Structure 1
């Protein structure tokens, strides 16, 4: 998807940021999701996965997407096995947003892949992909900014704001997010035995 040149399109004066084709696609998507999915009971994950796939998303058969999730552009969404997009999550995926297997994005969180070039007089929209690693967790009402990757097992605490990558198996919180500690996993005995 091409972002229009802000100087030519005059987006800073109310002109379009995206092509007419893109805007028509997204308008159709908003109507379809609003009518067919946004009100559905939590257990209808298969139906919502179907709708997302119909509009170009890559969704694993075991992924969980709640009806109150807001996906801006389905073709730029990939959700792995057993990954979860919780209630009220905003997926502003101007660029690709990928959740690896078992990744969790909790209620009210915001994954924002686009912003503006603040050095540009015309406030050009710029976008960078977001990656949420395997077994990573974006906690309630947290914000993940453009170009950020959460490494495997990384945690962004509730209402934390990540503007830089989070290293694997670390816990971060605050605004801007700062390292709180390393994440040390405990395994129950049957799981530990199975791993031997």
Structure 2
């Protein structure tokens, strides 16, 4: 007789010590601002977006570019350093902190997620880990960064790639999962 294998029971879902990091009123206010300004393709003012992010607790440097139709879960867990750029349709799903360094670019349609689930646990336990994108990095269009990803300075993640873990400084990565395919040379 075959033994029955354990199964997932989402009635007992566990989010561990996760908390959104802000009171409900602030989350609701951000959701409204996000819909009206950030996810709206008609609002193009970088200055307005920088001011609103700061008002909601983000650390935003000089001349940061935030294109239209960007989705940010929790601005109070976001750092955007000087001159970084966030392209159209980027989704920053930051249940844990996300730090985008100076002169770094996150191109169109990228998904940055700091949360996932332990698929081996019967209660599908949530876990989170921060994402760090150091100075001069380029995360190319439609790429995905998973929880705990650390992009070393000036590293490149090529079109449509999926990265978790550490990308070495000046490394060029491609694929799913992303593997190092070269060294970036500037100039």
Which is bigger in relative contact order (C-alpha 8 A, separation at least 6)?
A: 2
Q: Equivalent residue of 1:140, what SS?
A: coil
Residues 34, 72 of structure 2: 8 Å contact kept: no
Greater mean alpha carbon deviation, residues 12-21 or residues 177-186: 12-21
Q: Which runs of 5+ in 1 are unaligned?
A: 1-10, 187-196
Could you give the per-residue CA deviations for residues 1-58 of structure 1, whole angstroms, max 9, x where no partner exists? xxxxxxxxxx933979566965553332111121234336464100011111111111
Residue 180 (structure 2) aligns with: 179
Residue 95 (structure 1) aligns with: 96
Instruction: Quickly say closer, same or farther: Cα 1:97–1:164, change in 2 above 3 A.
Output: same
Q: Equivalent residue of 1:118, what SS?
A: coil
Residues 136, 154 of structure 1: 8 Å contact kept: yes
TM-score by length of structure 1 reads: 0.82
Residue 11 (structure 2) aligns with: 13
Residues 171, 182 of structure 2: 8 Å contact kept: yes
Residues 142, 160 of structure 1: 8 Å contact kept: yes
Q: State the superposition RMSD in angstroms.
A: 2.2
Greater mean alpha carbon deviation, residues 99-108 or residues 56-65: 56-65
Q: Equivalent residue of 2:95, what SS?
A: coil
Residues 26, 72 of structure 1: 8 Å contact kept: no
Alignment partners' CA distance in 1, 2:159 and 2:115: 21
Alignment of 1:143-158 (within 5 A): 143-158=144-159
Could you give the per-residue CA deviations for residues 141-176 of structure 1, whole angstroms, max 9, x where no partner exists? 000010010000000001000012100001000000
Greater mean alpha carbon deviation, residues 99-108 or residues 62-71: 62-71
Residue 84 (structure 1) aligns with: 85
Q: Does 2:139 match 1:138?
A: yes
Q: Which runs of 5+ in 2 are unaligned?
A: 1-8
TM-score by length of structure 2 reads: 0.86
Could you give the per-residue CA deviations for residues 79-133 of structure 1, whole angstroms, max 9, x where no partner exists? 0000011100000100000001001000000111110112221111100000001
